[in-house]
Chains A and B, each alone.
Chain A
Amino acid sequence: MASYLLRRLLIAIPSLLGISLILFTVLAMAPGDPFSEMATNPNVPPEVREALRASFGLNDPIMVRYLRWLTSMMQGDWGFSFASRINVDTLILQRVPTTLFVVGTSQILALLIALPVGIYAATRPYSVFDQIANTLAFVGFSLPTFFTGLLFILVFSVALDWFPFVYRSDIAATGWRWYWEMFRQAIMPIMVLGLFQAASYTRYVRSAVLDVIRLDYVTTARAKGLSERKVTLRHITRNALIPVVTLVALQMPAVFGGAIVTEQIFRIPGIGSLLIDAILANDTPVIMAVTFVFACLVVIFNLIADLLYGWLDPRISFS
C-alpha cells in the first residue's frame, strides 16, 4: 500500500512537470498582457509600460521565465500577482473557503437528489417515474447554467424579492441571523449548480444500479428472504455506489476549481472567478498557480479515487 502510493506519486512528478511546462508555454504564447487597462490612457507613457513589462520579467525568453517560475515554486514561492501585487498563495487561500462551501454544498445537494432518484428509477426501469426522472435529468443538463442562473435571479430576486443575488463573503450579522443570511444568499447558486450536477449524477446512479441489479448475488440476497428495501440498500446500492463514489472523487478538482459561470453570475468570490479575472487581466502568475493547483488536484484526486475504489471494493489490492 505504502509503496503503491509512493510509486504513484513518483509517476506523478514527470506528469506534473510536463503539465506545468505546457501550461507555462501556452500562457506565455497566449495573447494579451497584464497592462491592457493602461493602454488607452495617455498619462501612462509607452516607456513606462515597457519598463513595467521588463520589471515583471515579461521580456525574457519563455524558458528562462519557466525555470525561474519552477525554482521559486519548488521553494514554496507561488509568485506575485501582477494585478493585485500580492502573493498568489494569499490570493488563492482567500478564495478557497467560499468555493468549497458553495460548490461543495451543491455537490452534496446533487448527490442528495441523484441518489434516491437514480436508485428508485433504476429499480423500476421504464416506469412512469423513471421516464419523468430521465426527462428532467435531460432538461437539467441541456440548459446552460448562465441561463438558469439568470432565470433564477429574475424570478426569485427581481420578481419575488426572496433572495439577494449578490453573494457576500462577509455578512454583517451574528448568530442565527448569520446563518439565515448565508442561507438566503447561497441558496440560488447552490440550486443552480446542484440541479445541474444532480441531472448528470442521476443518470450515472441509475445506470450503475441497473448494472448491479441483474447480478447473481442480488438474486442470492432475495433467495435469503430479505425484503426489497434491504436488498436495495444493502446489496445493490453499496455495489452501485462504487463507480459513483469514484466519479464524485474525480469531480472534486472541479469542486475546488469552482464553477466559473455560476460564480460570475452571483458574484461569488471563488477560485473560478479568480481564474477568469486573472485570465481577462492576463495575470499570468495567478493563472499559472490556479491552473497548476488544478492539475495537481486532478492528479491527486485520481490517486484518491483509486484508493477509494480499493477501500470500497475489497477485491482491489495495492500490493
Chain B
Amino acid sequence: MAGSTLASPSAEPVVVAAKTSAAVSPGRETWRRFRRHRLAMASSVVLALLVLGVVIGPWLWPIAINEIDFSAQLQTPSWAHPFGTDDLGQDILARMIYGGRISLAVGLAAMVVATFVGVVVGAVAGMSRRYADSFLMWVTDLFLSLPQLPLLLLVIYLFREQLKAAFGVEGGVFVLIVIVIGGLRWMPVARLVRAQFMSLREKEFVEAARAQGATRFRQMVHHILPNALGPVIVAATIEVSSAIIAESTLSFLGLGFPPDIPTWGRLLFDAKDHLDSAPHWALFPGAAIFLTVLSINFIGDGLRDALDPRRVI
C-alpha cells in the first residue's frame, strides 16, 4: 500500500490534523458547541419534560377534561386538583395536559409549514436571477403588507367545512390553523433564505459544483441549502413560539379550536376575567406557554451560537 503511494517530494510533510480525534462532523461539532450553551441545554431539558408531560400525562392523570362539577368551582390547587379547577369545576391539570398536546403540535406544525414555504419561496427567488425573483419578492411584500385579521376570517370561512369533512373536527381545525398561522408567517423566512441564497450562490464551492456540471437543482439542494440552514433553524425555533402565541390570539378572536378544546391559549383567555379571584387558573397555562416559548427561544439562541463558527463559546 505504502509503495503505491506517490512518494512525491510534493507530499506535505506535516501530518494531517494534529487533533487525531475521530472525524468530527459538522453535526457533532454543532452538538458539542450547543452543549456548552448552558441555558440552551437547560431549556432542552425543560421542553423535553413538557413534551413528555403532555404525551404520557393522560395515563398519569386520568381525569376527564370536561367533567363539570359545580361543587368544585374555582378551587385553588389541592391534592385532588393539583392545578386547581376552573369556574365549571373542571380540572385544570387534565385540561392543560390535553390542550398542551394541541398547543405544542400547532407550534411545531405551523413552524414546519412556515419554514417549508419560506424556504421554497426564498430558495427559488434566491436562485433565479430574473423575473421569478422579482415576482416572488413582490408576493412576499404583498403578504407582509396584507392585514392578517380579515384574511384569517376569510380563510377560515372558506375552508373550514371542506377540511372538517376531510380530517374530522379537531383534525380539520388543526390543519386549518396550522395552515393559517404558517401560511401568514413564512415571509421573514423567505427573505432570510433568499438573502442566504444570494450570497451563497456566488460562493466558490457552488461555482465549483457548477464547473463540475452540477444541475441547478443539485446546486440548490446539495450545496446551498445545507449551508443556508443555520439561520433558518434559528428562525424556525422562534416560529414555534410565535405560533403558540398566535394560536392563543386566534382563540382570543374566536377563530381557533372549538371552545371546548382547552388549548393553553384558550385556558389563558378564559381565565383572564378571574385573574383577581382565581389567579391559579391563569398562572399554570401562562407559565406553560411562557416556559415553552422561553425554552424554545433559548434553544434557538443556542443553535444560532452553535451553528455560527465565528462565535467563540
Contacts and interface: CB of A to CB of B under 8 A. Distances in A.
B276 A298 contact: no
Contacts of B70: none
A43 B165 CA distance: 38
Interface in B220-279: 241, 245, 248-249, 252, 268-269, 272, 275-276
A286 to B, nearest CB: 11
Given A147-B268, A158-B276, A138 B298 contact: yes
19 contacts: A15-B141, A15-B142, A22-B146, A23-B150, A26-B151, A29-B158, A30-B150, A30-B153, A32-B153, A134-B301, A138-B297, A141-B293, A142-B297, A146-B249, A147-B286, A214-B310, A260-B149, A261-B249, A291-B150
Contacts of A146: 249, 252, 269, 272
Interface of B: 39, 138, 141-142, 144-147, 149-151, 153-154, 157-158, 241, 245, 248-249, 252, 268-269, 272, 275-276, 282, 286, 289-290, 293-294, 297-298, 301, 310
Contact of B290 (A143, A260, A275, A290): A143
Interface string A48-83: 000000000000000000000000000000000000
Contacts of B154: 26, 29-31
Contact of A150 (B158, B275, B298): B275
A141 B290 CA distance: 9
Contact of B146 (A23, A260, A276): A23
B249 to A, nearest CB: 7
A31 B150 contact: no
Nearest to B297: A138
Contacts of B272: 146-147, 150
Contacts of B39: 131, 134
Contacts of A247: none
Contacts of A291: 146-147, 150
A221 interface: no
Contact of B147 (A143, A150, A294): A294
Contact of A275 (B149, B158, B268, B298): B149
Interface centre among A134, A147, A151, A279 (most CB of B within 10 A): A147
Nearest to A30: B154
Interface of A: 15, 18-19, 22-23, 26-27, 29-32, 131, 134, 138-139, 141-144, 146-147, 150-151, 154, 158, 214, 253, 260-261, 275-276, 279, 287, 290-291, 294-295, 298-299, 302
Contacts of B282: 147
A142 B157 contact: no
Sorted nearest first, the 7 A-B pairs with minimum C-beta distance are A142-B293, A298-B145, A295-B145, A30-B154, A291-B147, A31-B157, A138-B294
Is chain B's interface secondary structure helix, strand, loop, or mixed overall?
helix
Contacts of B269: 146
A56 to B, nearest CB: 18
Nearest to A253: B145
A18 B293 contact: no
A31 B152 CA distance: 11
Contacts of B245: 142, 144
A261 B249 CA distance: 9
Given A15-B141, A29-B158, A142 B150 contact: no
Contacts of B252: 146, 261
A27 to B, nearest CB: 6
Given A23-B150, A146-B272, 14 more contacts: A15-B138, A19-B142, A29-B154, A142-B241, A142-B293, A144-B268, A146-B249, A146-B269, A147-B282, A147-B286, A158-B276, A276-B149, A290-B147, A294-B145
Contacts of B286: 143, 147
A34 B289 CA distance: 36
Contacts of A131: 39
Nearest to B244: A142
B75 to A, nearest CB: 21
Nearest to B144: A298
Contacts of A147: 268, 272, 282, 286
Contacts of A150: 272, 275
A276 B249 CA distance: 14
Contacts of A154: 275-276
Nearest to B37: A126
Nearest to B139: A18
B250 to A, nearest CB: 12
Interface centre among B39, B150, B269, B286 (most CB of A within 10 A): B150
Contacts of B268: 144, 147
B131 to A, nearest CB: 13
A27 B301 CA distance: 39
A275 B294 CA distance: 31
Given A29-B154, A138-B293, A299 B145 contact: yes
A23 B147 contact: yes
A22 B142 contact: yes
A173 B151 CA distance: 42
